[in-house]
Structure 1
Amino acid sequence: MKPKVVIGFLGTQLDSGRGAGRWEKWRPSVSLGMHEDFLVSRIELLADERRYKDVSDLVCADIAQVSPETKVTVRDTYIADPWDFESVYSVLHEFSRSYPFDTEAEDYYIHITTGTHVAQICLFLLTESRHFPAHLLQTSPPRKQTAGVSGSYSVIDLDLSKYDRIAERFVKEQQADQAYLKSGIATRNLAFNRMIEQIETVAIRSAAPILLMGPTGAGKSQLAKRIFELKKLRHQLPGNFVEVNCATLRGDGAMSALFGHVKGAYTGAINERAGLLKSANKGLLFLDEIGELGADEQAMLLRALEEKRFLPVGSDKEVESDFQLIAGTNRDLGQRVEEGGFRDDLYARLNLWTFQLPGLADRPEDIEPNLDFELERFAQNNQRRVTFNREARDRYLAFAASAQAIWKGNFRDLGASVTRMATLSASGRIRMETVDEEIGRLKRLWGPMGGQADHLLSQLLGDRLHDIDRFDHAQLREVVNTCRNAKSLSEAGRLLFAASRKRRSTTNDADRLRKYLARFDLTWEEVAERV
């Protein structure tokens, strides 16, 4: 059995006593060392040494007498007003953050018999929320005086009302956790913020696999790392964060990288290799682009998830590893299952908690706070702060949130864009000419569909382009691109309506195209003239 560690307050009244008569009095902290079936390895005694050092010294000496194997560590704990909820909670919350809990090596118990009622309630709340990774322990005096002074103990659960100020404190902490998952970025997209709220709840309450879906550069890897760090702060994952992009795992090396191998398992296996799953024991394994895993690796991974055991390559002895899995993908795994490229049973295991991360173009209202985040990150990495002048900032944000900005690489594109502008702004101010040059560079980076066609639409529609919905903009851009490569209105119509025309008895594709362009006050002649 693991050593037992008890954390509790010194009872300034209940634990006090002088002379030989004190041994006839039940003292809760001293009684912790008197139970033969509950052997305490260490007691962390929270005491105000300035006011009650004489009591704590005597209690330590008496515990040493009744239980020499129990070590007592006095933690000097000053609380200005022990009946003030906020003061008590703040002190205990800080203690929970700084104490070196090791749940793999020790079992922890929170002694709630001593201390004020306020302290007892705060200890309960912090234990319930897993700030203290412990059980609640209550000690009681003997019912009859002749029964001795050890009394009784019980590991219990309490049903206490949650005071408003404490509840508010938890709400604030939950909000802080959500902000942490967002890297402190004050995002404005309501759907994204609701998703982060759910992820924060799942991260704290569940150890089940999490599937993060979304396009490349949407932030899956960063979010997975933040989830790990949040769980680490709550003492839920004592192990490490292990990350791998499955698209980089190919051939025989894929099995070895994930599950390890024994010496001599294959040509070149000179030394034994633990593998990523073993390295993630008691921690978190992030498998990015999990849809790229081969069939054999998928089968092994499924068994490792279900049984926490697997066979390294070339070994006949199973290895155990208890890890939490977060998987990332920019592919539709449901479609991959239908196509036979991904195991349906593995997908079922991953699909309990699935979150779809939107791309940057789908969150235009979040571009501005992310822009500020990237500027701050540039300042930290380069020890040089760069800002926009007002006109340049407005110009960049207008483009970044417009339908012309498709953000193929999502936040990676935005980060690279800010880095380029900040680096080129030697004066520390990003000006209009730098922004215009960067906008042109981004359009070229995104190719004809994101550059030339959008430039043509801008010429055709002018300011009206900003009034067009993103859906209509994408459709119109495809129409314009097709028209650019067609010799006539009729040819463009046939290309655009090739599928539906087969289901119609009569066809007039040129007229359909003409009417479509008219919706945007455009004519074929205008489009043809500009191309």
Structure 2
Amino acid sequence: MGFLGTTMDAGKDNRWERWRPTVALCQHEDFLVNRLELIHDNHAAALAERVTRDIAQVSPETKVERRILNLTDPWDFQEVYGAMRDFADAYSFDTEKEDYLVNITTGTHVAQICWFLLVEAHYVPAKILQLTPPKRWREGGAGTYGVIDLDLARYDKIATRFAAEKAQATSFLKSGIATRNEAFNRMIERIEQVAALSKAPLLLMGPTGAGKSQLASRIYELKKMRHRLKGPFVEVNCATLRGDGAMSALFGHAKGAFTGALAERPGLLRKADGGMLFLDEIGELGLDEQAVILRAIEEKRFLPLGSDKETMSDFQLIAGTNRDLSVDVAKGKFREDLLARLDLWTFELPALKDRREDIEPNLDFELVRFAEREGVRATFNREARERYLAFARSDRASWRANFRDLGASVTRMATLAPARRITEEIVVEEIARLEKSWSRGGAEGPDTLLRDFFSEEALAEIDLFDRVQLAAVAQVCRAHSSLSAAGRALFSASRAQRSSVNDADRLRKYLARFELDWKVISAR
């Protein structure tokens, strides 16, 4: 199928002495065209009739079906694509019985581009046919032809290159860290796909220090390298924004909007125009700010504080949170419509203690960061490295602040190490420091923690034995990113002895005894 070439197919007076692509298409002895769908408008009906007769002479086996497609402006991309898409939608393709090709030799450049788009998107299940005239094309003849299959997966070298580029992109998102956790690696691969194809908001969930900010920055850099964004990366921690200051910082303000507003302020959303806005801890925003954010996402416009003139900003949003926003929706603290808009692409980053196989490559990464930051390289001796990793992977290490804890730990050891060689003595000292720090975080009595979930009257009805145990369980739940992970940590000995078959269910039933569930605990 292809367009009639109103100039090249005409041939003028001595048409058999000139190369005419649509006729030449049917002159190849090794290429039989059973049916030709010849597309033209009403003005070219006479030429189409003549070309049909000429094809009947050179290839009686070819049946020509003439298709009328009238275009007001054949150089208007929108009109041409719409008309060709309608043609494709109405066509009864039968790929079981027929092979289809589209001839891009004739038609305007706009039509040729549209053929490529329709074939690549599989609206037209065909291959591309390109005709080339003979060296002396004015003397007529068939010339040559070439068939192009746009299914790039069929081309080994291209497929290999795409696979390499994909691997390079996922490695970039991981900051070059050779992570080993399968679930985390699958999540990064999916993020790479979404970053390449979608402009919709992303929601990154996970505990504090899990790497949401760094991942958001890498997503931005990847999209910018692929020319998907050209504006800046703007990051804001919503927990630092309060009251009118939040509205002003995010959306800007007009001069005189409030006391002290001596000049107009553009705001962070305006600054992110053409780029990416990362709103970390978005659950900390007030309901008013959430409403404006929602409109800014959907309509690319918002009203600065104290202004009667709307501002435009086209940005991609990445939101971060360390808690389950659906719980906040149930409490009336977060807008359900905003969560629905953010929830299209949601990715949950696991805690460091749920990725113990990734501690070693991240340890090496932190050593490299220390060297880049301080200008000196620190290393472990073998015994020190083995001892530190054994502790870091054990249940003794809670990694409460996740990668922030790990980064701070490496910095301390590298700074204190004699001649920048981290010894076993330095490691022993650091392990004691970490354990003391984590124990301080949990030194409060059980009632202090449980008051987040129970009234004083309800607490008084629970035995001290149960309160101590329940508080310890709640701390473990808060330190893990899922019910299953918390269950594995709590019942690791039972699982090793094969006396526990479903840790998550066991934990769920335990919490239910006190009318609690993991989502409520982990969200606090």
Q: TM-score, normalised by structure 1?
A: 0.57
Corresponding residue for 1:440?
432
Kindly indicate whether the alpha-carbon contact (under 8 Å) linking 1:216 and 1:409 is maintained by their aligned counterparts in 2: yes
Offset from partner CA, 1:213-238 (integer Å, 9 cap, x none): 00110000000000000000010001
1:349 match: 341
Separation of aligned partners in 1, 2:261 and 2:334: 29
1:308 counterpart residue number? 300
Q: How does 1:381-400 map to 2 (within 5 A)?
A: 381-400=373-392
Partner AA of 2:181 in structure 1: N
Does the Cα contact within 8 Å between 2:207 and 2:351 map onto a contact in 1? yes
Distance 1:367 1:182 in 2: 13
* Counterpart AA for 1:341: K
Residue segments in structure 1 that go unaligned for 5+ positions in a row: 1-23, 27-111, 114-123, 130-135, 147-155, 454-477, 479-490, 500-515, 522-531
Q: Give 1:196-345 correspondences, 5 Å limit.
A: 196-345=188-337
Q: Give CA-to-partner distance per residue, 1:171-220, whole Å, 9 cap, x none.
A: 01100000000000000001000100111101111000000000110000
**Corresponding residue for 2:507?**
none
In the alignment, which residue of structure 2 is the partner of 1:410? 402
**Matches of 1:263 and 1:226, distance apart in 2:** 36
CA contact (8 A) 2:152 2:158 kept: no
Contact 1:422/1:428 (8 A) holds in 2: yes
Aligned equivalent of 2:357? 365
Q: 1:385 to 1:161 in 2, by over 3 A?
A: closer
Q: Pick closer, same or farther for the CA change 1:327–1:421 going to 2, 3 Å.
A: same
Structure 2 partner of 1:172: 164
Matched positions, count: 332
Aligned position for 2:28: none
* 1:120-179 deviation digits (Å, cap 9, x = unpaired): xxxx99xx89xxxxxx9x9998xxx99xxxxxxxxx995666411110111011000000
Q: 1:188 to 1:161 in 2, by over 3 A?
A: closer
Q: Give matches, 1:516-527, under 5 Å.
A: none
Q: Is the 8 A contact 1:406 1:450 kept in 2?
A: no
Distance of aligned partners of 1:290 and 1:449 in 2 relative to their CA distance in 1, 3 Å threshold: closer
Q: CA deviation at 1:436?
A: 0.5
Question: How far does residue 406 in structure 1 lie from its aligned partner after superposition?
Answer: 0.3
CA contact (8 A) 1:207 1:324 kept: yes
Q: Is the 1:210–1:352 contact (alpha carbons within 8 Å) kept by the matching residues of 2?
A: yes
Give the equivalent residue in structure 1 for 2:144.
none
SS at match of 1:212: strand
Say if 1:25 and 1:260 are closer, same or farther in 2 by CA, change over 3 A. Answer: farther
- Other-structure match for 1:120: none
Shift of 1:267: 1.1
What's the CA shift for 1:349? 0.3
Judge which range, 375-384 or 296-305, deviates more: 375-384
The residue type equivalent to 2:418 in the other structure is A
Distance in 2 between the 1:450 and 1:360 partners? Answer: 19
**CA distance 1:157–1:316, change in 2 (3 Å):** farther
Amino acid at match of 1:190: E
Q: Which deviations, in whole Å up to 9, do the C-alpha atoms of 1:385-411 show, x marking residues without a partner? A: 111111110100000000010001100
Quick one: distance in 2 between partners of 1:140 and 1:300?
Answer: 58
Q: Counterpart amino acid of 1:408?
A: R
Alpha carbons of structure 1 residues 420 and 497: separation in structure 2 relative to 1, 3 Å: closer
2:184 is aligned, of 192, 202, 206, to: 192
Contact 2:300 2:312 (8 Å CA) reproduced? yes
Q: CA deviation at 1:426?
A: 2.5
**Secondary structure of the residue that 1:446 maps to in structure 2?**
helix
The change in CA–CA distance for 1:496 and 1:168 in structure 2 (over 3 A counts) is same
Alignment partners' CA distance in 2, 1:497 and 1:438: 29
Equivalent pair of 2:202/2:345 in contact (CA under 8 Å)? yes
* Cα distance in 2 for residues equivalent to 1:277 and 1:493: 51
Q: Distance in 2 between matches of 1:233 and 1:498?
A: 49
Structure 1 residues 434 and 384: alpha-carbon distance in aligned structure 2, compared to 1, 3 A threshold? same
Cα distance in 1 for residues equivalent to 2:296 and 2:337: 13
Distance 1:258 1:177 in 2: 31
1:9-48 → structure 2 map (5 Å cutoff):
none
| Cα gap change, 1:293 to 1:198, in 2 (>3 Å) | same
- Alpha-carbon spacing, 1:435–1:159, altered in 2? closer, same or farther (3 Å): closer
Q: Which amino acid aligns with 1:425?
A: A
- Whether the aligned pair in 1 keeps the contact of 2:235 and 2:278 (CA below 8 Å) is yes
Q: In the TM superposition, what is the alpha-carbon distance from 1:447 to its structure 2 partner?
A: 2.0
Structure-2 change in CA distance of 1:316 and 1:353 (3 Å): same
- Per-residue deviation, residues 470-527 of structure 1 (Å, max 9, x unmatched): xxxxxxxx9xxxxxxxxxxxx764656899xxxxxxxxxxxxxxxx9x9899xxxxxx
CA apart distance, 1:382: 1.3
| Kept in 2: contact 1:443–1:452 (CA 8 A) | no
Q: How far is the alpha carbon of 1:263 from its aligned partner?
A: 1.0
Q: Deviations over 1:367-422 (max 9, x none)?
A: 00000001111111112111111111010000000001000110010000000000
Cα deviation code 1:412-467 (max 9, x no counterpart) = 100000000000013121111100000010011112577999xxxxxxxxxxxxxx
Contact 1:212 1:357 in 2 (8 A): yes
**Which residue number corresponds to residue 369 of structure 2?**
377
Amino acid across the alignment from 2:256: G
| Partner amino acid, structure 2, of 1:288 | D
Q: Which residue type is aligned with residue 320 of structure 2?
A: G
Gapped regions of structure 2 (runs ≥ 5): 1-17, 21-103, 106-115, 122-127, 139-147, 451-462, 472-490, 498-524
Please report the RMSD computed on the Cα atoms of aligned residues, expressed in angstroms.
Answer: 3.7
Structure 1 164/424 Cα, relative in aligned 2: closer, same or farther at 3 Å? same
SS of residue paired to 1:414: helix
Residues 160 and 229 of structure 1: is their aligned pair in 2 closer, same or farther, counting only changes over 3 Å?
A: closer
Q: Deviations over 1:264-305 (max 9, x none)?
A: 111111111111111111100000000000011001011111
- Secondary structure, in 3 states, of the residue corresponding to 2:277? strand
* Aligned mates of 2:155, 2:391 — CA distance in 1: 49
Native 8 Å contact 1:443 1:450 kept in 2: no
